[in-house]
Chains A and B, each alone.
Chain A
Amino acid sequence: MSILVIAEHDNVNLVAATLHTVTAAQQIGGEIDLLIAGHSCEAATQVASQIMGINRVLVANDASLEGLLAENMANLVVTLAQDYTHVLCAATTFGKNFMPRAAALLDVSQISEISEVISADTFVRPVYAGNALAKIQSRDSIKLITVRITKFDAATAIGGSAPIETVSASPDSGLSRFIGLSSSKTERVELTSAAIVISGGRGMQNGENFQMLESVADKLGAAVGASRAAVDAGFVPNDYQVGQTGKVIAPDLYIAVGLSGAIQHLAGMKDSKTIVAINKDSEAPIFQVADYGLVADLFEAVPALDEALSD
């Protein structure tokens, strides 16, 4: 078996999702090559070559890959895929964008968001917002797979020394143009890789009140997230959203504040190791998945929590 893992990176570093995807590839078994595609991505290539257990790092460094447009990414993956039995990428908005396009060009079905590897052709994936798990077997000769990263540990990032080889990018399709990316970057730890996450819902009432959560997050080294309702209401930007349609995360500790726990929110966080719910409505569905529930007014409980953590 030979597996191509498509890395997600910001030109300098790998996104943590890449290491989790490598672990899924290791569970399938076989030689693993890692593809770094982008423009001015040399630094990320060096980082990638240090991952343990990688056979080769392939680099496609070309102006046509600026912005990683789906059309150009898919064409690149199609030219490389013929040499592999499996092509894997994290089920992030990056992977979800071009992987199905590449699959259709190869005339194969994609297996989306696997949560478990059973064998080289059989996988488990959550469906219906995580209310069921489907065991799927693929008959395609090349298997294109996206990986639910919370279900696989991170591979060891250092200690390896894989050779780096250059591959050519496909010519620009001319179909689309990258205009720009604006990110609500903070100094805080990233939501998908944080060990502790504190999220607010509609009960936060406005964006300013999220500062209460930021303060607690500072003390815990946590990331701050939000429910869809809080994002829709404009309290915080969309990249804070945890849920079926936002980010799927599984931190060691998830603190849900003033959020009811709609099915689509639970789909994004219910694999967290420990869940805390703070809500004044004791009937809120979030209490059904919480390990520790505190029925209280968040405007009293959160400042008290902040103070207790200062001791």
Chain B
Amino acid sequence: MKVLVGIKRVLDPQVKARVKADKSGIDLTNAKMTMNPFCENAVEEAIRLRESGAIEEVVALSIGAAKSEETLRNALALGADRAILVLTEEVLEPLALAKVIKAIVEKETPDLVLVGKQAIDDECNQTGQMLSALLDWPQATFASKLELVDGAAQVTREVDAGIEVINVNMPAVISADLRLNEPRYASLPNVMKAKRKPLDKIELADLGLDTANRLTTLEVMEPPARAAGMIVETVSELVDKLRNEAKVI
């Protein structure tokens, strides 16, 4: 069995996003980039499935500019067996990403696709769901536990109301939530080894897909700033402020 893991390169979550002066987007010039945290969980889960013997091969996939190779090399260092990079300078919407991943799925025929539940940059939370729709596969989003039993996947999902359990046929698309696992760090020998692991590059145009965006970003703005607050010295002062100034209790 084979798992395909989708990976996105994003602005490091520890770095504060800065809006460009011309309001055209976020300034990523020289910014520290990293693997999207939810994608780290997806990679970790795929590697654990291979380590447990449930699957044989982990293929990492990313779609983006040439620098995404760095993020894929990181996935290889963590334990993915090989990687595929679909090259494009365009920033694709989730629908277009799902079409690209579908094309790769048709070539690779994995038994499972693991993705992060959302990217922390555009926060769309769509690609996994859209991919499973296009493939007519079942989906299990926001997974916090995954077990493969008798050709199906039993998935525990974190939902607003609590914890939900569903059982999906395979092949399936599963999107990882943060509590699915605790991602490992890559050891230095594995980082060195990753440099020699196979990484195929495909030009987006060669896939012959309609990946035109349907949405136009008119502008990107700074959110309104909160007015500065004050430090109170005691609990009774706090209660007084809440009662008589903010009038919220």
Contact = CB atoms under 8 A, between A and B. Distances in A.
B93 A109 contact: yes
13 contacts: A104-B95, A104-B129, A104-B133, A109-B213, A128-B120, A132-B220, A176-B168, A178-B166, A179-B164, A181-B159, A238-B158, A263-B13, A287-B231
Given A128-B11, A175-B168, A309-B239, A136 B217 contact: yes
Nearest to B138: A175
Nearest to A252: B248
A51 B131 CA distance: 35
Given A69-B166, A70-B141, A71-B139, A293 B134 contact: no
A245 interface: yes
B234 to A, nearest CB: 8
Contacts of A100: 94, 124-127, 129-130, 133
A133 B142 contact: no
Interface stretch (A30-38, A55-63, A79-87, A90-98): A90-98
Interface of A: 67, 69-71, 74, 92-94, 96-105, 107-113, 122, 124, 126-140, 173-185, 192, 196, 220, 228, 231-232, 237-239, 244-245, 247, 252-253, 263-264, 270, 273-276, 287, 289-296, 301, 304-305, 308-309
A92 B164 CA distance: 14
A105 B230 CA distance: 51
Interface string B158-184: 111111111111000000011100000
Given A176-B169, A239-B162, A294-B232, A101 B218 contact: no
B155 to A, nearest CB: 9
Contacts of B129: 70, 96-101, 104
Contact of B159 (A94, A231, A274): A94
Contact of A103 (B14, B130, B221, B236): B130
B235 A308 contact: yes
B132 interface: yes
Interface in B1-60: 11, 13-14, 16-17, 19, 26
Contacts of B164: 67, 178-181
A180 B178 CA distance: 21
B187 interface: no
Interface in B120-150: 120-127, 129-134, 136-142, 144
B219 interface: yes
B230 A133 contact: no
Contacts of A67: 164, 166
B122 to A, nearest CB: 6
Nearest to B161: A183
Given A104-B134, A128-B17, A122 B223 contact: no
Contacts of A238: 144, 158, 162-163, 179
A139 B140 CA distance: 29
A276 B95 contact: no
Chain A interface, DSSP helix/strand/loop, else mixed: mixed
A144 to B, nearest CB: 10
Nearest 3 interchain pairs by C-beta: A183-B162, A104-B130, A175-B138
A133 B179 contact: no
Contacts of A102: 133
Interface of B: 11, 13-14, 16-17, 19, 26, 93-95, 98, 117-118, 120-127, 129-134, 136-142, 144, 154, 157-169, 177-179, 213-223, 226-227, 229-236, 238-239, 241-242, 246, 248-249
B248 A196 contact: yes
B96 to A, nearest CB: 8
Contacts of A196: 248-249
Contact of A132 (B17, B131, B229, B238): B17
Contacts of B221: 124, 132-135
A33 B246 CA distance: 39
A276 B235 CA distance: 11
B139 A133 contact: no
A74 B126 CA distance: 13
A104 B247 CA distance: 47
A294 B231 contact: yes
A298 to B, nearest CB: 11
Nearest to A69: B166
A138 B231 CA distance: 44
Nearest to A264: B13
Contacts of B238: 276, 292, 294, 305
A183 B216 CA distance: 40
Contacts of B132: 101
A74 B133 contact: yes
Contacts of B160: 92-94, 192, 239, 247
Contact of B223 (A70, A132, A263, A308): A132
A179 B154 contact: yes
Identify which of B126, B144, B168 gathers the most chain A CB atoms within 10 Å of its CB: B126
Contacts of A176: 138-140, 166-169
